[in-house]
Structure 1
Amino acid sequence: MGEEIKISVRELMEYVYKGGSIDNRFRTSTSLTEGTAIHQAVQKEYLTDDKKEVPLRLEYEAGELKIVVHGRCDGLLQTDDGVVIDEIKSTSSLLENISIEDFPVYWAQAKGYAYIYAKQEGLKEIRVQLTYVQKKSKEKKRFLEVFSMNDLEIFFNHTIDQYMSFAKLIAQLREKKEQSIPKLKFPFPKYREGQRHLAGAVYRTIQEKRNLYAQAPTGIGKTMSSLFPAIKALENNEYERIFYLTAKTVTRLTAEESLLLLEKNGVNLRSVTITAKDKICFKDESICQPEHCEFAEGYYDRINGAMVDVLRNETQITREVVENYARKHKVCPFEFSLDLTDVVDVIIGDYNYIFDPRVSLKRLLPERKKKTALLIDEAHNLVERAREMYSAEITKNAFWDIEEEWSAVNEPLTKAAKAVTKDLAALGHTEKVKTVDEISGSLEENLERFTEAAELELKDDQESEQAEALLERYFSAQNFLKILMLVDDHYKQIVTNERDDISLKLFCLDPSEVLKHVVKPFRASVFFSATLSPFAYYKDMLGGEREDYILRLPSPYHAEQIEAVIAPISTRYKNREQTAEKIAERLYHQVKNLNGNHLFFFPSYQYMQLIYDEFQKFKDINTVEQEQGMTEERRDDFLAQFVEGGQLVGFAVLGGVFSEGVDLRGNRLNGVAVVGIGLAPRSFEKELIKDYFIEKGKNGYDYAYVFPGMNKVLQAGGRLIRSENDHGIIQLIDDRFLTSKYIQLLPEEWKDFQVVR
């Protein structure tokens, strides 16, 4: 027997029998959790001899292929008339509107389980039951059918026949991949300094099902050093896919370029890049309903053809490729890219597809996670991103607006909104901002009542302006309830009372526990960045544990390539007006001393503008400045002006799009200056973080302010030297850079600095 293809009963039946349109007229964000709870509630009612979650498996030989169909049927019931296969489905529809002919894909799934069980038990016939449970009322409606073994055999053979061409394609692609990986060599003549060490650590981490935290300074080639060994580790067939996760579009492009280089070097695999829905949607508005979008209408009737076509003809399924095939087959490009994640080998996308509870891929079930490795690029960004993902906020006036707008239309919705408004008003009192130790149970109950009432309303209307506002409030309430389930001593509950409104925020002080929980089901996770510094802080904040691997590599560049300068001028807020002229002169001096292009970084747009205006008195210098809210096209235009041999000065913001992930090699960039130490302004939230870590026995001020700020400085400075042949100047402007704390945080190659006064 040749190739073996494994597929679950559910996946098989959905591939063959699912049809119709994408219709996201209204879909709750908790359907998966709700469905699980409903399944468990029904299964609790089973009798003593009944069985639940029964594992079933069938090996089906089809020529050179062995198809292994597996799954767990919800229930195996013992009755006087024989065994009954029970398939449980939750629904928000009214039960009286559901007939026995509805949802053929559900019947197909139940019949699939029935066939496997009847075959292994030698039964001549078997009963199959579909149990529908109404989500809100929890009422049940059951349909029971009796099938002969002969009928089930015909059905199952037909199903396999329909699936066979796709199975053969998957088997062919897998065979080509498996033949190519052992022959794959590192795509460069030699490893850079530190590169082999990183590649070996990534390979070992995946082989041993561990986690790795790696600081790999700029120039090592960390994208290739992680992708190459992760692909080599696919050789043993113990795991199936790689997620390459990043926060920036530019680093996604770097991953695509690395895969292209590996393909030219002989590897044969498939990758897909996931692009955010609002960016890749073909329509002006992302309304995923058949009457509004021809790419949603009939999507499931055409998606199989689109999948086969693109997998046969493409290896790297980038955004452009996704769009081309989506137009050709008239399918939604975003859903198309998500469906491809089930069958490709490498997925490139944003952190949120794994970490954000609102948009993470629900299709990535536990069995698949075990066979998936995570490569998390620029991992220093994940700390703040995770804080945002695992925090949630609601405001009193938002619910008051709903109360006003719907009072004459929907009484249950109005009452629920009014109750939430009242609960939030009770938290207000006199302080502008404060924390509360507990949230009343009534607020949680009233938010649940509100979401239930909103669901009923939104099922029928999601298009009017009134409904759009309701939808926004609904999702904020749902997210709040979801995050509320995570709240523990890693959180603070913040009440803000200003501008005649009251807000309640569930603020995640320390995301490490949630991150640890998220990555645990995956085979392996590799967190890497050029600036995981200080290392202990980032390992701690990203959920690292004692048994995890760590790797800190020195820079492959030499100190002689960098002229480091510290100018001890105060950039504190109170001194900025007085020192603006001095700083502008220092920056001008840098430009005049070293011909070429320079990038200057500032802690805020306001401060950048202050120095930019002062700098304009130097008429012999061409300048360009970063704008707030730049589109991708405008960002590209900004960078395109930094040409080889140019004489341009760019003004940009620390922590912004130009301070990391930007690669201006050679003479495209000759000098960098960082004005300020990157400290975030003092705030109520930052002070809470500081106090939290002090209580944990750590330096709270460093955790809240110094380390995140200095990371921005290191990232910005890292734009300067991008290859072995680059040389340039890095100027740090702030007197605090000369204190022992900050000197310790400087990279080794910056420590041979000159002080200019």
Structure 2
Amino acid sequence: MLSAMKLITIPLRDFALPSPRTGSIEAHSGYGRSAAEGQEIHRRVQKKRAKADPRYQAEVPLSALFDREGYRFRIDGRMDGLFRHDTPQIEEIKTGFNVRELARRLADNSMEHPYSLQLLTYGYFHWREHWTLPALSFHLVSSRSGEFEDLELALDIPLYERWLERRLDELVVEARQAEKRAARRGKIAAGFPFPFENPRSGQIELMEAIEEGMKEESPMLIQAPTGLGKTVGVLYPVLREALSRGQRVVYVTPKNSQHSVAEDAVALFQETRARVKSLTVTAKGKICFKHEPLCNPEYCEYARDYYAKVETHGILAILANKRKLKARTFRHLGEQYQVCPFELQLDSAREADLIICDYNYVFAPRSALRRVTEIGIDQAGKPNLVIDFSRDAAFYFAIRFFWVRCFLFCY
């Protein structure tokens, strides 16, 4: 029945991915997020188009619903530009260092590149709503020189719908995994024991203060004396509360060298019956196999065909069965399957209940963790964030706009 269906909303850019996954880790892969410079180029092109053609409209929203095996998937997106002519034209603006190389990649096989699939999906959704086949085109702009190139793309409805069927089947699998993940987290939270029989003096007061702050959904600045056991005292209530909502905790420190404090705390939790899954993200320069961490398939065999190798060998399923993920595991699997250990860390973050990483993975403009996406089924709110050893007030103001619940403490 329709009433029993679970509604899942997915951004179009996360929906329009090759099925099965293909491609290498590189600038033209289409899997990364847009840089601020690219967004500025977008706005400049859109302004120029609107001035030249009154029938041009920028940032046109569109969505579509698909029902599959008890789930209703709502796909939402925005077209960069729509020319409302007799034959509608949808234009997607993309930026890159080398637009000729990008154009070649997009023209080679449109069903195996995320950018092409995004544009085809815009066209298909428009066709479903208006029953008019639109013209599709890319406007590719070089972020280096400003040169541009236009590329037309044809929407083959039967070919697209074959891809669509495969992609919807993938989403059903992801939705079921998300339900299991949320149920597992809820079960952990319901029976989450404190790792010591008797809390230290002051720990109970600390945990009670944090629990009260979480009820108010208010950021907190916490300072406690050395020897109190503040890492355990902070992580215990913060993790339990997040897991009860089907969510995770992100614990950030200034440097990799300070990760051990959180790792030791979570090890205490894991020694009890709480089956918490932790992930420690090691800096790219420290975990990369190459002399220079350059993500280019011509230079790095671990970047070459990364997405296909990860899918073919089921590497993410292997990682999902482990409770503690650190550099050693990623290096081992990276060598075994010839895949990038740094990217494996980020791709495995979906199943982690606690992610331990440096500041820049959260606060940098193109932070790596912002690209981590998952189906948010049976979840409430957003992850909890703990910032260790933060004395910079700027961080306080930055995090207020990133996650609802934020916890700061310093030594």
1:644-694 CA distances to partner (integer Å, 9 max, x unpaired)? xxxxxxxxxxxxxxxxxxxxxxxxxxxxxxxxxxxxxxxxxxxxxxxxxxx
**Paired position in structure 1 for 2:382:** 371
Contact 2:96 2:102 in 1 (8 A): no
CA distance in 2, matches of 1:116, 1:139: 30
1:115 aligned onto 2:120: no
1:729-748 CA distances to partner (integer Å, 9 max, x unpaired)? xxxxxxxxxxxxxxxxxxxx
Q: Tell which structure's C-alpha radius of gyration is larger.
A: 1
Bigger relative contact order, structure 1 or 2, given CA contacts below 8 A and separation 6+? Answer: 2
Equivalent of 1:19, from 13, 22, 46?
Answer: 22
1:601-650 CA distances to partner (integer Å, 9 max, x unpaired)? xxxxxxxxxxxxxxxxxxxxxxxxxxxxxxxxxxxxxxxxxxxxxxxxxx
Equivalent of 2:78, from 62, 72, 76?
Answer: 72
Name the CA shift for 1:49/1:262 in 2 (closer, same or farther; >3 Å).
Answer: farther
1:523 aligned onto 2:397: no
**Paired position in structure 2 for 1:187:** 195
Contact 1:195 1:220 in 2 (8 A): yes
1:458-508 CA distances to partner (integer Å, 9 max, x unpaired)? xxxxxxxxxxxxxxxxxxxxxxxxxxxxxxxxxxxxxxxxxxxxxxxxxxx
1:243-300 CA distances to partner (integer Å, 9 max, x unpaired)? 2012355642232233333345444554321112222223344344334432222212
Name the CA shift for 1:196/1:110 in 2 (closer, same or farther; >3 Å).
Answer: farther
Contact 1:16 1:159 in 2 (8 A): yes
Contact 1:169 1:312 in 2 (8 A): no
CA distance in 2, matches of 1:15, 1:233: 36
Task: Please state whether the residue corresponding to 2:152 is helix, strand or coil.
Answer: strand
1:88 aligned onto 2:107: no
Task: Please state whether the residue corresponding to 1:52 is helix, strand or coil.
Answer: strand
Task: Please state whether the residue corresponding to 1:71 is helix, strand or coil.
Answer: strand
Matches within 5 A, 1:385-534: 512-513=393-394, 516-517=397-398, 519-529=400-410, 531=411
Using the size of structure 1 for normalisation, the TM-score is 0.46
Matches within 5 A, 1:7-156: 7-14=10-17, 16=19, 19-23=22-26, 32-44=35-47, 45-46=49-50, 47-82=53-88, 84-95=89-100, 98-99=103-104, 101-102=107-108, 104-119=113-128, 121=129, 123=131, 125-147=133-155, 151-156=159-164
Name the CA shift for 1:203/1:146 in 2 (closer, same or farther; >3 Å).
Answer: farther
Contact 2:349 2:372 in 1 (8 A): no
1:177 aligned onto 2:182: no
Task: Please state whether the residue corresponding to 1:189 is helix, strand or coil.
Answer: coil
**Paired position in structure 1 for 2:293:** 286
Contact 1:372 1:524 in 2 (8 A): yes
Name the CA shift for 1:323/1:133 in 2 (closer, same or farther; >3 Å).
Answer: same
Q: Percent identity?
A: 29
Task: Please state whether the residue corresponding to 1:229 is helix, strand or coil.
Answer: helix
Contact 2:188 2:274 in 1 (8 A): yes
In the alignment of these two chains, the number of paired residues is 392
Name the CA shift for 1:321/1:105 in 2 (closer, same or farther; >3 Å).
Answer: same
Name the CA shift for 1:254/1:79 in 2 (closer, same or farther; >3 Å).
Answer: same
Name the CA shift for 1:526/1:37 in 2 (closer, same or farther; >3 Å).
Answer: same
Equivalent of 1:233, from 234, 237, 241?
Answer: 241
CA distance in 1, matches of 2:329, 2:372: 27
CA distance in 1, matches of 2:271, 2:18: 33
Contact 1:366 1:521 in 2 (8 A): no
Name the CA shift for 1:242/1:59 in 2 (closer, same or farther; >3 Å).
Answer: farther
Partner AA of 1:516 in structure 2: F
Task: Please state whether the residue corresponding to 2:10 is helix, strand or coil.
Answer: strand
Name the CA shift for 1:126/1:23 in 2 (closer, same or farther; >3 Å).
Answer: closer
| Structure 1, gaps ≥5 residues long | 384-511, 532-757
Displacement of 1:5 in angstroms is 5.0
CA distance in 1, matches of 2:204, 2:61: 43
| Structure 2, gaps ≥5 residues long | none
CA RMSD between the two structures: 3.6
CA distance in 1, matches of 2:187, 2:7: 15
Name the CA shift for 1:253/1:161 in 2 (closer, same or farther; >3 Å).
Answer: same
Contact 2:33 2:371 in 1 (8 A): no
Partner AA of 2:35 in structure 1: L
Task: Please state whether the residue corresponding to 1:72 is helix, strand or coil.
Answer: strand
